[in-house]
Chains A and B, each alone.
Chain A
Amino acid sequence: MLVLTRKPGESVTIGDDIKITVIDVKGRQVRIGISAPREMTIHREEIYAKIHEENLKAAFAKAVDMEKLAEIFPAKPSGESEK
């Protein structure tokens, strides 16, 4: 991994069209500005990783007990009872 030291207001460029700017540093938090082509998707890594992990769990729930599942609905979803 390439490691660079930057001060607030300074940037790094990646290729021709990606620019990452350190906007502000406060204690342990860094605010980063990213300029990139619109078609590039940018995510906080941990959110993407969480969705990925949950998809894996949801996808392979093969041993689901269909009969039990059929009993549950139309059990009342939680949202309704709170209203």
Chain B
Amino acid sequence: MKIVSGKIGEIEIDPAKIITFADGVIGFPDFKRYVELEFLENSPLKLLQAVDSSDLGFIMINPLIFEPDYVADVTIDELKSLNTDKPEELVTMVFVTIPEDPYEMTANLQGPVIINLNSRLAVQIVNHNQKYSTKHRILKADRQASNAQ
């Protein structure tokens, strides 16, 4: 099926790849169907595009890339809503907020998205672990060093 993404234009998607958020994403309860898209080559940043609104999309990243010890506290009920009791079927992603200067991008570690790769069900949870913030800086502040890589 064809969908339109505000970020990358019209694209063909496989309906079997649609990820369903039964309750929507926090703040967007009306949009439940999304697809994960590559929008930059070889980038850890992925686009979670709403199937039913070209204007709605989130950039997301696997938090383990920059926070190797990251843990999302998923409750038994949340596991149930994802139709699994096997944590190994799940992947955790976090939304990225990109300000005017993209080097200052931050990740929302307090509201991770948990996706069941088998059932394609997903939920955005509230991580009650107080050490995680909604604005975790992803790149190190010293951009000279980052550029040198």
Interface residues of A (CB under 8 A from B): 38-39, 41, 43-44, 47-48, 50-62, 64-66, 68-70, 72-81
Contact = CB atoms under 8 A, between A and B. Distances in A.
Say whether chain B's binding surface is mostly helix, strand, loop, or mixed: loop
Given A51-B110, A72-B139, A77 B98 contact: no
| Residue among A48, A58, A72, A78 with most chain B CB within 10 A | A58
Interface in B16-63: 25-28, 39-45, 55-59
A33 B93 CA distance: 31
3 closest residue pairs by CB, A with B? A51-B111, A77-B66, A78-B140
B73 interface: no
A54 B98 contact: no
Interface string B91-132: 000011111001101001011000000000000101010000
Contacts of B126: 41, 43, 47-48, 51
A80 B108 CA distance: 19
Contact of A66 (B40, B58, B105, B124): B40
Say whether chain A's binding surface is mostly helix, strand, loop, or mixed: helix
A59 B67 CA distance: 22
Contact of B27 (A47, A55, A64, A76): A55
A59 B108 contact: no
Contacts of A47: 110, 126, 128
Given A51-B110, A52-B27, A79-B65, A72 B102 contact: yes
